[in-house]
Structure 1
Amino acid sequence: MHIILFFLIIRLTTCTNSIPFDGIIRPSGDGSSYAFLTPPKDGNHAAFIEQLTPSGTLAVAWFTGGEGRPNCSIAVSLLAVGSEQFTPGVIVSERTNYSNQNPVLFWNNRTQILHLYHSSQLGNGPESTSELWHLQSQDKGKGATWSKSSSFYSLPGAFDRNRIIPTLDNQGLIYPCYNSSPTYDYSFILRSISDTSTWTRINMTNSENLIQPSIIRLYNSKVLRSFFRDENAESIYYSDSNDDGITWTVPKRTILPNNNAGIHANTLKTGAVIMVFNNLNGTSLPRSPLTVALSDDNGMTWPYQRNIQIHDDGNSTYVGEYSYPAILQSFWTGRDDNDIHLVFTYDQQTIKYVRFNERWIKQGQRIFY
């Protein structure tokens, strides 16, 4: 026991001393940039990133304090346009004896309100106790002050994870969610038709054990495409909606693997679909590598792929956990000419931020089909 503890202390000390969790953006030497955010607690996971307009500020939210533990909290960090350092993570939502997890940020440009949704379950309790909670920031796009969190959707076992997108008429919202129950897990959406309307729940067809839907609108199209995490740890799946989320097709496999870990998709300005995922299936290996891929045919093939993280920074012999990504493309470009922003779990010690562009991805591995 003493020997194990000794090596654990060495491991933690090495990570802490060699990697500054200071939020400063540094060049990687390969055209990308990176930063390690400053967490308020140990046990950091499931980051999300959103852009505020017109300011362009980036907001990152994640949970801190250990998954499932009592008093696990939601933290937020901000990056102003032109800044080279994220603000330290600040706790914005905490419930005594509850575990707040899976934050999802949504910036409503009409109302200039930054919304934050998250799950909240009994600390050390089953996932079936989870509900969805909500808070908001109304400080004119600064994201610095927040309301008190309150219950938003009380379906037992309700979770969220991925991006909220506007309806086709840009008046309502489509909020991807999933349910964790004692029998099986499945996906659903909450759909609104305006800023003030109620939300309608729509279950996604045949989505048993396919969770954490990541929904995109295909380029110059009415079609919605949802990609799913596979709890059987085999493949990323996809499903389509031709009526703006009212009905969904039966899910089919993509050619990308899944290890029963989080994924995130988005549509870029060029029309390409970008996906971030752990590039392996099965659950016997660590959640590595974390890979970014591009598709020019709406997710049927992924000819451009590049690994984001394979092993710990500064320690090529240690393969840790690099998971639960979130990605967006900003309207602004950094001084490094990069406009794609990625956040992900780094060994559950902190959240890592990486910035690159579409050209950088294409300089990686080319896959021929």
Structure 2
Amino acid sequence: MKNTLLLYFSFFVGMSHAFAQSASVSKMVPEIEHFELVFQGEMPFEQCHASSIEALGDGQYMMVWFAGTHEKNDDVGIWMAKGSPGNWSVPKLLVKVRNDAHWNPVLFQSPEGRLFLFFKVGKEIDDWETWQIFSDDLGKTWSSPKELVEGDRGGRGPVRNHILVLSNGVWLAPASIEKDKVWNAFVDVSEDKGETWTKSDTLLLDRKLITGEGVIQPSLWESSTGNVHMLLRTSAGKIGRSDSFDYGRTWSVLSLTDLPNNNSGIDIAQIQGNTLALAYNPVGKNWGPRYPMSLAISTDNGKSWTVKMDIEEGEDDNEFSYPSLIYEEGYLVLCYTWNRTNIRFVKIRM
């Protein structure tokens, strides 16, 4: 009888906690506090794309993106701006390894306070090299560029979204490959704070389910100790998902969620525990329009998404794409491509 009562008590406490968390988030009304374009005046580049954001503390942020005359052109480099809402530095070229196209910069602030920048270099995605620089003074000065995995071609390390630091201290980089129009994703694992990396197997895909090119650009979170999850961009009209129960070493067969996807970038930010935020274009058509830019909230580790709102709606030839999303002290903070001519910054009170 005593054990039975304990079981009932534990069940009641667990259900009460889950209900309280669900109720509190279901009452969330995300409120946009800052909604602005980062650049003012004439820019020294014609196009920009694929921004990444990181918090520097004290309300300061850094954003990076690639820019030049046009994506894939040899003059494209990695650019940056720093500051706070309404007060951004003039964009400047941060790194240019050589006269080849640069792509997909990713910022990462390590637990030790070192700020990393990862980016791709190469004329074609199939033959990408991954390069990195780092700063120990919040982006005032930077190390010399070096390859993440010397001699690699195809792309190691983070391809679009932030690195995840697991509960055991291991770093997971959400990675993917695009070779001869066949796509797949994996994670790069570092157990020594980024000094060396080990590539996981690529995901198991049912190519009858995942029609078209495949899956790329995962976004990661850890719901509980060792339980790691990813959502992915796909060519199948819906966002994909895979799960790991061994700290990201092995992954489940990829499944499709109910979330629409236009084969464009997405990003996840973990608010707390099983409460997640997703930035994406809710368009269920392969290579569909890249608008609106929307936000969704889940309280059950991504099984359902009960709060949804459009951040920027768009029409015709608009492009609001490739969000980079972080959670910081009661706020969701994101940036994204605005019509390939500017970067949009948004700060949302939760």
Q: What one-letter code is carried by the residue in structure 1 that aligns with 2:83?
A: L
Distance 1:255 1:288, change over 3 A: same
How does 1:327-342 map onto structure 2 within 5 Å? 327-331=325-329, 339-342=331-334
3-state secondary structure, aligned to 1:185: strand
The reply to whether residue 354 of structure 1 matches residue 346 of structure 2 is yes
3-state secondary structure, aligned to 2:179: coil
The reply to whether residue 155 of structure 1 matches residue 155 of structure 2 is no
How does 1:82-231 map onto structure 2 within 5 Å? 84-110=86-112, 112-122=113-123, 126-139=124-137, 141=138, 143-153=139-149, 154-158=151-155, 160-170=159-169, 172-182=170-180, 184-195=182-193, 197-207=195-205, 209-218=214-223, 220-231=224-235
Q: Are the aligned partners of 1:75 and 1:92 in contact in 2 as well (CA < 8 Å)?
A: yes
Q: Are the aligned partners of 1:288 and 1:319 in contact in 2 as well (CA < 8 Å)?
A: no
**Aligned residue number for residue 17 of structure 1:** none
The reply to whether residue 72 of structure 1 matches residue 76 of structure 2 is yes
Q: How many angstroms does 1:183 deviate by? A: 5.3
Please give the TM-score of this superposition, normalised by the length of structure 2. Answer: 0.82
Distance 1:46 1:96, change over 3 A: same
Give the whole-Å Cα distance in 2 for the aligned partners of 1:108 and 1:226. Answer: 20
**Aligned residue number for residue 264 of structure 2:** 261
Please give the TM-score of this superposition, normalised by the length of structure 1. Answer: 0.78
Distance 1:284 1:163, change over 3 A: closer
Q: Are the aligned partners of 2:164 and 2:172 in contact in 1 as well (CA < 8 Å)?
A: yes
Select 1:304's aligned residue among 285, 302, 307.
307
Q: What one-letter code is carried by the residue in structure 1 that aligns with 2:145?
A: S
Give the whole-Å Cα distance in 1 for the aligned partners of 2:345 and 2:250. Answer: 35
Give the whole-Å Cα distance in 1 for the aligned partners of 2:187 and 2:300. Answer: 25
Give the whole-Å Cα distance in 2 for the aligned partners of 1:190 and 1:45. Answer: 24
Q: Are the aligned partners of 2:274 and 2:302 in contact in 1 as well (CA < 8 Å)?
A: no
Q: How many angstroms does 1:136 deviate by? A: 1.2
Q: How many angstroms does 1:222 deviate by? A: 3.0
Residues 97-127 of structure 1, C-alpha deviations (whole Å, 9 max, x = no match): 31111011111231x22110011112xxx32
Give the whole-Å Cα distance in 2 for the aligned partners of 1:204 and 1:182. Answer: 16
3-state secondary structure, aligned to 1:246: coil
Q: How many angstroms does 1:309 deviate by? A: 1.1
Q: What one-letter code is carried by the residue in structure 2 that aligns with 1:95?
A: V
Residues 164-216 of structure 1, C-alpha deviations (whole Å, 9 max, x = no match): 0112212x310111111115111111101122652111023215711101011
Q: What one-letter code is carried by the residue in structure 2 that aligns with 1:32?
A: E
Most deviating of 341-350 and 189-198: 189-198
Q: How many angstroms does 1:285 deviate by? A: 4.3
Residues 213-243 of structure 1, C-alpha deviations (whole Å, 9 max, x = no match): 101111x4431110010023x1001100101
Gaps of 5+ in 2: 1-30, 208-213
Q: How many angstroms does 1:32 deviate by? A: 2.8
3-state secondary structure, aligned to 2:126: helix
Most deviating of 342-351 and 89-98: 89-98
Q: Are the aligned partners of 1:102 and 1:119 in contact in 2 as well (CA < 8 Å)?
A: yes
3-state secondary structure, aligned to 1:77: strand
Q: How many residues align?
A: 306
The reply to whether residue 47 of structure 1 matches residue 51 of structure 2 is yes
Q: How many angstroms does 1:150 deviate by? A: 2.0
* % identical equivalent positions: 26
Q: What one-letter code is carried by the residue in structure 2 that aligns with 1:204?
A: T
Residues 43-79 of structure 1, C-alpha deviations (whole Å, 9 max, x = no match): 11011111235x5531111111131111211111112
Greater per-residue strand proportion: 2
**Aligned residue number for residue 33 of structure 2:** 32
Give the whole-Å Cα distance in 1 for the aligned partners of 2:184 and 2:258. Answer: 21
The reply to whether residue 238 of structure 1 matches residue 238 of structure 2 is no
Distance 1:259 1:31, change over 3 A: closer
Q: How many angstroms does 1:289 deviate by? A: 1.0
Give the whole-Å Cα distance in 1 for the aligned partners of 2:306 and 2:92. Answer: 39
Q: How many angstroms does 1:40 deviate by? A: 4.3
3-state secondary structure, aligned to 2:122: strand
Give the whole-Å Cα distance in 1 for the aligned partners of 2:128 and 2:307. Answer: 38
**Aligned residue number for residue 22 of structure 2:** none
Gaps of 5+ in 1: 1-29, 312-316, 334-338, 359-369
